[in-house]
Chain A
Amino acid sequence: MKIRDNENLVVLGIFLALVSLLSALVLAVVSGFTARPISAAKKAREAQALRQILPEFDNDINAKTLTLKSPAKWRIQVRAARKNGKLVGYAALAVNPAGYAGAVKMLAGVNPDGTIRAILVTEQHETPGLGAELCKRQFSRTIFNLTEPTPAGLPPNRYLDQFNGRKVPAKGWVISKDGGDALYHTGATVTSRAIAKSASEIALAFQKGRRQLSKAFGGVK
């Protein structure tokens, strides 16, 4: 009898198992030779983000991570950047679970005095064209500057840049719709709130965690 017309359950089961085994083999090979490029790409992305938000540094920034508790009980992961042994800034990672559609992950460069230097949103699932635009840093390309080279540095974003260098109020930054003074975008209130809240939590955690920071990294001056 031909295998095509076989209806014996055992034979069918063995056939399916063989096909699956073969596919697992293929996947094992592919995942074997892509493992290194994938982790390299991940590292490159991360390093690129750190270079954008921090001043020039030369230490191995991942050598030590401190977890700070923010007022809202978030765990904020802090790493220190040094140049010639001198502390030049911190990288702080905060995950806000209350985005419009899932978590908003924020990576902030923090000055040694605890103020925010620059903010990047590294992961978000906000509404395309609306909330997502608030989290994006992109040089605007038009038909008039198409051939010009990309300017160096971090592309501006007024929703993310508004906290830079400012002292955080005791209760954190609140968007103007809720009675505070932080910018918000009509129609993207939830995203605006998430950004202001994340920035506040990071700044407040640095204010609260001075002692921990100086113990771990040698001080906030």
Chain B
Amino acid sequence: MKKIIETFCKGIWKENPVLVLLLGTCPTLALTTSATNGAGMGLATTFVLVGSNFVISCISGIVPRKIRIPVYIVVIATFVTVVDLLLQAYAPASLYAALGIFIPLIVVNCIVLGRAEAFASKHNPLLSIFDGLGMGLGFTLTLTMLGIIREFATSGTVFGVKIITAWTTDFLLPGSAPGAFIIVGVILAVRNFLKARAAVKAGRLYVPPAGLDCRHCNICSIGKDDE
């Protein structure tokens, strides 16, 4: 039981797919122009993630190692097509109009294949479902938060509701792709700063998340004398 809760919770903050694993950056940047879009994309991805994690965890024992990646992709693509059809049939027209062309992109969303390969293929179906739920929730929350920030900064609205009624002209940078990069970058920087400070205060050595560390980067040392 404890393990299930741990698996579920780690996706939300400790191993947040967007802010820590830095996976699925394409939908993160492209789709969070409004809070509604962010939440919709997050929920659709969560559904795919849970379904594919479950199926892949069930079949991983009998899938030949050599062709596991194509098999996983087929499973994921099937779930994505199912989501696409269900959304077309039952989702509100405005949501499908906004997400429609991005749904097929969930197939190549690194989070889904990443969790299949790194988690579902090595754990039992129950744990895999909770991993999918946690990761999906983390993804949804991050995308919604980004959507709220970007939508509010662009037009003073949140979920289509004007918060500041005096807002008349749109500020376009946060709604565009470059603005998304800047906002995600600032959030990452703040998150890492807080983590590093907490680690230093506790007297531990701060280890940056893989891929975000300074070991292979020498920008800081340019212009300095070798010590």
Contacts from A to B (Cβ < 8 Å): 3-7, 11-12, 15-16, 19-20, 23, 26-27, 30-31, 34, 37-38, 41, 45, 127-130, 133, 138, 140-144, 146, 187
Q: Is the CB of B82 within 8 A of A26?
A: yes
Which 3 pairs from chain A and chain B are nearest by CB? A37-B89, A129-B175, A142-B162
Q: Is the CB of A187 within 8 A of B81?
A: no
B175 cross-chain contacts in A, Cβ below 8 A: 128-130
Q: Is the CB of A130 within 8 A of B64?
A: no
Q: How far is the CA of A129 from the CA of B89 in the complex (A)?
A: 27
Q: Is the CB of B64 within 8 A of A12?
A: yes
Of B85, B154, B155, B165, which is in contact with the most chain A CB atoms at under 10 Å from its CB? B85
Given A34-B85, A129-B154, 15 extra CB contacts under 8 A: A6-B64, A6-B66, A12-B64, A15-B64, A16-B71, A23-B75, A27-B78, A27-B81, A30-B82, A34-B89, A38-B85, A127-B172, A127-B176, A128-B175, A129-B170
Q: Which residue of A lies closest to B34 (CB)?
A: A128
Interface pairs (14), CB distance under 8 Å: A11-B64, A15-B63, A19-B75, A23-B78, A30-B81, A30-B82, A34-B89, A127-B172, A130-B172, A133-B170, A141-B157, A141-B160, A143-B165, A146-B161
Contacts from B to A (Cβ < 8 Å): 33-34, 61-67, 70-71, 74-75, 77-78, 81-82, 85-86, 88-90, 93, 154-155, 157, 160-163, 165, 170, 172, 175-176
Q: Which residue of A lies closest to B93 (CB)?
A: A45
Instruction: Give chain B nearest CB distance to A1 CB in angstroms.
Output: 11
Instruction: Give chain A nearest CB distance to B131 CB in angstroms.
Output: 22
Instruction: Give chain A nearest CB distance to B187 CB in angstroms.
Output: 20
Q: Is the CB of A37 within 8 A of B81?
A: no
Q: Is the CB of B67 within 8 A of A15?
A: yes
Q: Is the CB of B162 within 8 A of A140?
A: yes
Q: Is the CB of A129 within 8 A of B172?
A: yes
Q: Which residue of A lies closest to B160 (CB)?
A: A141
A41 cross-chain contacts in B, Cβ below 8 A: 88-90, 93
Q: Is the CB of B62 within 8 A of A23?
A: no
Instruction: Give chain A nearest CB distance to B63 CB in angstroms.
Output: 7
Q: Is the CB of B66 within 8 A of A142?
A: no
Q: Is the CB of A34 within 8 A of B64?
A: no
Q: Is the CB of B67 within 8 A of A16?
A: yes
Which of these, B67, B88, B165, contacts A34 with CB under 8 Å? Answer: B88
Instruction: Give chain A nearest CB distance to B52 CB in angstroms.
Output: 11
Q: Is the CB of A143 within 8 A of B155?
A: no
Of A7, A129, A130, which is in contact with the most chain B CB atoms at under 10 Å from its CB? A129
Q: Is the CB of A141 within 8 A of B162?
A: yes
Q: Is the CB of B64 within 8 A of A30?
A: no
Q: Which residue of B lies closest to A24 (CB)?
A: B78
B74 cross-chain contacts in A, Cβ below 8 A: 16, 19-20, 23
User: Provided the pairs A19-B71, A30-B85 are in contact, do residues A3 and B170 lie with their beta carbons within 8 angstroms?
Assistant: no
Q: How far is the CA of A23 from the CA of B163 in the complex (A)?
A: 46
Which of these, A3, A37, A129, A187, contacts B62 with CB under 8 Å? Answer: A3
